[in-house]
């Protein structure tokens, strides 16, 4: 058995069903060996999108995504995708081919020090120098990627190692890593303190982040919130922790979030942050947040606790395990008055947006789109104004909301939607702007080649809208580098790939067009010509 | 505030880069750094002296702990440590300053380890403070070259240990 055969066997042992990748000579032994297996191979059109697709796949199934690229430029092209996954703690295994061991460091053709280059974006990385290490390293890599605070792990495999014969293949049952033991169970004393604070509090609130979803704790959170009547707000990565219309859910916080969600957080006397980083976009002044309230911070990564704000009660552990432990406690509390107040804030909230009546309103399109989408559909938002409209107007029923939150990587939605569709087989809708669409539109070929039915919505305003909006405020409307003149005719792009195309150009008949767009389970593009000067809020 | 981190790591290639990279990426200071093998050839020790506010110093420890190649960290203040540095200083001498140089060396327990007609090399193994003092004392003497290790440190033994 060769090293390449062993790599493939490891993937089978880990139950990998799909890999996303792009070949090159240095990874050819692997792509040759994979032919003997049933693992689905998806050829993307640029390596970055292999990582994004693996991310969408991983998030749709709560599993580990796998992407594979060659040495040199193949590997460096992966980096943005790896960094995007790292920022949102998405478990990925990124396999790269490498030049022969004896040539390492001599700058031969297509050599790049990828483990060095990707160091600050990976949870861990390996450069395999002995073929017999392959089973152990793959076992460890999957373990590291999928436990504790999840994240991407890179495995760089020189070509001679892929071709070398392995003495005996035995996939380890367990890993032995003396230095890696993530805390799963929360500390009992700290958990007791949580309940003590809850019984004292009059206005508690939970702020849920992406960690809740990654830990598979959505249902547990909902049960906990409902049991005691604790209102919940979320960060952008936390969207989908609860259905949008849940009586205890009060929307997304932050600069781009709902005013009543921020007000709820500010007026609370007990804030429980769960699986959230207290990042700048969610909490703009972290030092002020603890002024008039008790802060409990629950996270699997001890580094996040106290990084941006010092909590009164830190609680480290896996969120699911902690919620399970919460079930062993019982207190009597009454937060009805607080919930009434928050509901009043929500009812009183008026959207104060300038809407140009000549154009279709993107907010209306997003909400009607989500109303018409399947109950368990997956909505993938890109980055830019489209993301702001998506966060604020998408109605989560029982589906999943995906976006690049931490890194804000444009072009994420289409490849991630491909991965999510292959993984989940649910209805998947990617929503992007004309800028982000053009960053990933080469993937329409991948969609055609592998017959991946995804629905793609393009908000076309001819601008890099969110940057233009920033220049509007910061530079008094002096625009620079944001005009997308020269963009193609999207109907022709769709026709070139033989993909059905629809267009919304006026505020009338939006629902009808969306219904036609979603009517079958086939790929389609819906272009929405929106006001070139509309704002995200 | 100054803090010493005695970090035991897996003795593999690339680990020092990962640890040093963490400091630069997160804008943590490195005042000094010293690396060496321990009694176990699979384990290396990295002694780092860093400075910053309390939150930063705590983050450094947490972030180091998160690195998978880091086995163990001991963090202590300078006052809780036995710390040493080694310095080699090559100076130009002549008959006028020769006596003065020798006096300084004697007072500070520094050794003259090499000598030629016009040059001598002084060695001092001492606490970072004492090394700084020697450097100050030599301010008026033409220094040719200086080589200095980073601080090495171990936590002080407790009397009842």
Q: How far is A156 from chain B (nearest CA, A)?
A: 14
Q: In DSSP terms, which residues pair with B34 in a beta bridge? A: B47
CA-CA distance, A460 to A435, in Å (whole number)? 8
Hey, what CATH topology would domain A3-163 get?
A: Rossmann fold (3.40.50)
Task: Give the pLDDT band (50/70/90) at residue A72.
Answer: very high
CATH of B2-76, one of 3.30.70.360, 3.40.50.2000, 3.30.70.260, 3.40.50.2300: 3.30.70.260
Q: Give me B90's structure tokens.
A: 């090559």
- Mean per-residue pLDDT for A512-532? 97
DSSP H or E segment with residue A101: none
Distances (CA, A) of A322 to A220, A235, A316: 10, 20, 9
- Any idea where the domains of chain A sit in the sequence? 3-163, 188-348, 362-529
Pairing relation of β-strands B2-10 and B43-51? antiparallel
| Domains B2-76 and B81-155 equal at CATH topology level | yes
CATH 3.20.20.120 describes domain A362-529 = no
For residue B21, give the DSSP letter: H
Nearest by CB to A306, from B21, B58, B70: name it: B58
Q: Is the pLDDT confidence value at A269 over 80?
A: yes
- Any idea where the domains of chain B sit in the sequence? 2-76, 81-155
Distances (CA, A) of A358 to A432, A460, A483, A485, A505: 21, 15, 21, 21, 9
Q: What string of DSSP letters covers A246-293?
A: -TTEEEE-STTS-HHHHHHHHH-SEEEEES----TTT-S-HHHHTTTS
pLDDT for B83 equals 92
Which of the residues B66, B67, B71 would you substitute to probe the A interface, choosing the one with the greatest number of A C-beta atoms within 10 Å? B66
- Inter-chain touch A180–B68, beta carbons under 8 Å: yes
Q: Is the pLDDT confidence value at A110 over 90?
A: yes
Pairing relation of β-strands A455-460 and A428-433? parallel
Q: Is the pLDDT confidence value at B85 over 80?
A: yes
CA nearest A140 in B: which residue?
Answer: B68
Kindly give the interhelix angle for A134-146 and A3-13, rounded to the nearest 10 degrees: 40
Q: In DSSP terms, which residues pair with B86 in a beta bridge? A: B125
CA-CA distance, B36 to B34, in Å (whole number)? 7
Of B117, B24, B58, nearest in space to A307 by CA = B58
Contact, A96 vs A135, CB < 8 A? Answer: no
What pLDDT, in 10s, does the model give residues A286-333?
A: 777 778 899 999 999 999 988 888 889 999 999 999 999 999 999 999
Of B123, B121, B120, B119, nearest in space to B87 by CA = B123
pLDDT for A279 equals 78
Q: What is the CATH number of domain A188-348?
A: 3.40.50.1220
pLDDT for B161 equals 79
What pLDDT, in 10s, does the model give residues A172-211?
A: 999 989 889 999 999 999 999 999 999 999 999 999 999 9
- Mean per-residue pLDDT for A464-491? 96
ipTM of model: 0.87
Q: How far is B108 from chain A (nearest CA, A)?
A: 42
Strand order across the A40-43 sheet: A40-43, A18-21, A65-69, A92-98, A152-158, A124-127
- Mean per-residue pLDDT for A220-243? 97
Q: How far is A178 from chain B (nearest CA, A)?
A: 7
- Mean per-residue pLDDT for B75-94? 94
pLDDT for B160 equals 84
Domain B81-155 CATH superfamily: ACT-like. Chain A, domain 2 (3.30.70.1150)
Contact, A331 vs A228, CB < 8 A? Answer: yes
Task: Give the pLDDT band (50/70/90) at residue A350.
Answer: confident
| Domains A188-348 and A362-529 equal at CATH topology level | yes
Task: Give the pLDDT band (50/70/90) at residue A122.
Answer: very high
pLDDT for A355 equals 86
Query: What is the overall mean pLDDT for chain B?
Result: 94
pLDDT for A2 equals 98
pLDDT top residue among A287 and A248: A248
CA-CA distance, A360 to A528, in Å (whole number)? 7
Integer-rounded Cα radius of gyration of chain A? 24
């Amino acid at each position: 058995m060769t090293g390449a055969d062993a790599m493939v066997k490891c993937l089978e042992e880990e139950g990998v069903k799909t890999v996303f990748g792009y070949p090159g000579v240095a990874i050819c032994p692997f792509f040759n060996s994979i032919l003997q297996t049933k693992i689905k191979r998806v050829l993307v059109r640029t390596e970055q999108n292999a990582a994004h697709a693996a991310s969408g796949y991983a998030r749709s199934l709560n599993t580990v995504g796998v992407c594979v690229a060659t040495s040199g430029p193949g590997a460096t092209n992966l980096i943005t995708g790896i960094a995007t996954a790292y920022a949102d703690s998405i478990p990925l295994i990124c396999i790269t081919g490498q030049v022969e061991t004896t040539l390492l460091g001599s700058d031969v053709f297509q050599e790049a020090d990828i483990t060095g280059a990707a160091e600050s974006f990976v949870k861990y990385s390996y450069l395999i120098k002995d073929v017999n290490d392959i089973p152990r390293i793959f076992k460890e890599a999957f373990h590291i990627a999928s436990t504790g605070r999840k994240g991407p792990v890179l495995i760089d495999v020189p070509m001679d190692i892929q071709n070398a014969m392995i003495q005996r293949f035995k996939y380890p049952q367990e890993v032995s890593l003396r230095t890696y033991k993530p805390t799963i169970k929360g500390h009992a004393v700290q958990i007791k303190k949580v309940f003590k604070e809850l019984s004292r509090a009059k206005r508690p609130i939970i702020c849920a982040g992406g960690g809740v979803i990654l830990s598979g704790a959505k249902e547990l959170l909902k049960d906990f919130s409902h049991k005691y009547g604790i209102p919940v707000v979320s960060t952008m990565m936390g969207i989908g922790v609860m259905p949008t219309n849940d009586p205890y859910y009060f929307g997304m916080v932050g600069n781009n979030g709902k005013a009543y969600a921020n007000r709820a957080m500010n007026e609370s006397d007990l804030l429980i942050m769960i699986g959230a980083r207290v990042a700048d976009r969610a909490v703009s002044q972290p030092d002020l947040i603890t002024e008039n309230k008790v802060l409990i911070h629950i996270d699997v990564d001890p580094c996040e606790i106290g990084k941006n704000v010092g909590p009164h009660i830190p609680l480290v552990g896996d969120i699911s395990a902690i919620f399970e432990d919460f079930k062993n406690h019982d207190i009597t509390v009454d937060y009805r008055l607080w919930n009434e107040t928050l509901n009043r804030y929500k009812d009183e909230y008026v959207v104060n947006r300038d809407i140009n009546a000549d154009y279709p309103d993107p907010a209306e399109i997003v909400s009607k789109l989500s109303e018409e989408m399947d109950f368990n559909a997956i909505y993938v938002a890109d980055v830019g104004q489209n993301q702001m409209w998506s966060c604020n107007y998408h109605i989560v029923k029982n589906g999943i909301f995906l976006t690049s939150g931490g890194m804000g990587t444009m072009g994420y939605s289409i490849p991630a939607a491909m991965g999510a569709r292959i993984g989940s087989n649910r209805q998947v809708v990617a929503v992007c702007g004309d800028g982000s669409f053009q960053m990933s539109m080469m993937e329409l070929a991948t969609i055609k080649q592998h017959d991946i039915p995804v629905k793609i919505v393009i908000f076309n305003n001819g601008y890099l809208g969110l940057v233009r909006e920033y220049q509007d405020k910061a530079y008094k409307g002096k625009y620079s580098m944001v005009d997308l003149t020269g963009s193609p005719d999207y109907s022709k792009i769709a026709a070139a790939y033989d993909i059905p195309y629809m267009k919304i150009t006026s505020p009338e008949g939006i629902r009808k067009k969306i219904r036609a767009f979603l009517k079958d389970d086939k790929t389609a593009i819906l272009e929405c010509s929106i006001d070139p000067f509309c704002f995200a809020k | 505030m100054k803090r010493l981190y005695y970090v035991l790591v897996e003795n593999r290639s690339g680990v020092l880069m990962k640890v040093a990279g963490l400091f630069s990426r997160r804008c943590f200071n490195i005042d000094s750094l010293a690396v060496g093998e321990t009694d176990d050839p699979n384990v290396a020790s990295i002694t780092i002296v860093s400075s910053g506010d309390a939150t930063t110093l705590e983050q450094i420890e947490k972030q180091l702990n998160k690195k998978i190649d880091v086995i163990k960290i001991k963090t202590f203040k300078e006052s809780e440590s036995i710390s040493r540095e080694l310095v080699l200083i090559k100076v130009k001498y002549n008959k006028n300053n020769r006596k003065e140089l020798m006096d300084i060396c004697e007072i500070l327990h520094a050794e003259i380890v090499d000598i030629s007609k016009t040059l001598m090399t002084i060695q001092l193994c001492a606490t970072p403070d004492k090394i700084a003092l020697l450097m100050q004392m030599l301010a008026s003497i033409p220094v040719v070259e200086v080589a200095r290790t980073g601080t090495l440190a171990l936590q002080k033994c407790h009397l009842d240990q």
